[in-house]
Amino acid sequence: MQPFVNHTGIAAPLLKDDVNTDQIAPVLHARGLQEDYKAMLFHRARRREDGSEDADFVLNRPQFRRAGILVTGHNFGAGSSRESAVWSMLANDIRVIVAKSFADIYRENCLQNGLLPVVLDAQAADAFIARVLAVDGAAPFTVDLVTQRISGPDGCDIAFEITAADRMRLLEGLDDIGLTLKHIDDIVDWEARAAAAQPWLQTAQDGR
């Protein structure tokens, strides 16, 4: 996994709650194994009914076309577990999402892919949103995972919390499977114990 240490980018405000993964990465009519994740991101929201670009959608506005940080409300990433809703962010070089809260599966998918999910409490979030709106894409913000701070124009400096474990995984870009495989002996031992204690769990045979 690509490590995350810090990221500097334009912060785009998508100030809604409950943005779901159907919106972030819609199921498109024609699809294949190799999908265009860059084009997928907010595909429907970016376009009007006639297929032309919706100039009002935040990521279509000139100052936010190359945004690197998305700023949003509560429960971001609700709904389907599709990981394309994270891959499509990365394909657009958005490597940080600052939200008031995230849906559980989406947050996990972020951590698995080196996309930093920053949760700010309501007060800090509102302060940051005010900054983002005031700056309006004119200058970038920097999100630093080492110092756990968001800095930006006019002395903006906001601290954020993240568990030490999630922080370490992101900073070192740790391979999650590799981390768990250090415990493969424990897993095999568990299987032997379970086979004795609840043998029906360790075998799945078609009795027909």
Pick from 8, 79, 90, 151 the residue near another protein by CB under 8 A: 79
Site string for another protein, 95-134 (x = CB under 8 A): ------x-xxx--xx--xx---------------------
CA triplet 39, 42, 48: central angle to 5 degrees?
Answer: 95
Pick from 86, 97, 135, 158 the residue near another protein by CB under 8 A: 86
Task: Round to whole Å and give the CA distance between 126 and 112.
Answer: 27
3-state secondary structure 78-120: ECCCCCHHHHHHHHCCCCEEEECCECHHHHHHHHHCCCEEEEC
Task: Round to whole Å and give the CA distance between 157 and 160.
Answer: 10
Task: Round to whole Å and give the CA distance between 192 and 86.
Answer: 37
Site string for another protein, 176-205 (x = CB under 8 A): xx-xxxxxx-xx--xx--x--xxxxxxxxx
Q: Closest separation between CB of residue 10 and another protein, Å?
A: 24
Question: Would you count residue 23 as binding another protein (CB under 8 A)?
Answer: yes
Query: Which two structure tokens, joined as six digits, stand for 129?
Result: 């949103």
Helix axes 164-172, 104-112, angle to 10 degrees: 40
> Measured from the CB atom, is 62 or 207 closer to another protein?
207
Question: Would you count residue 29 as binding another protein (CB under 8 A)?
Answer: yes
> Measured from the CB atom, is 7 or 169 closer to another protein?
169
| Cβ–Cβ < 8 Å for 102, 119 | yes
Site string for another protein, 48-67 (x = CB under 8 A): -x------------------
Pick from 127, 159, 168, 192 the residue near another protein by CB under 8 A: 168
Among residues 113, 48, 126, 61, the alpha carbon closest in space to that of 87 is found at 113
In the chain, the amino acid numbered 179 is: L
| Other C-beta atoms lying within 10 Å of the C-beta of residue 197 | 9
Question: Would you count residue 206 as binding another protein (CB under 8 A)?
Answer: yes
Question: Would you count residue 33 as binding another protein (CB under 8 A)?
Answer: yes
| Cβ–Cβ < 8 Å for 26, 40 | yes
Count the residues of the shown chain that bind another protein, applying the rule CB under 8 A. Answer: 63
The binding site for another protein (CB under 8 A) comprises 16-18, 20, 22-23, 26-27, 29-33, 44, 49, 74-75, 78-83, 86, 101, 103-105, 108-109, 112-113, 163-166, 168-169, 176-177, 179-184, 186-187, 190-191, 194, 197-208
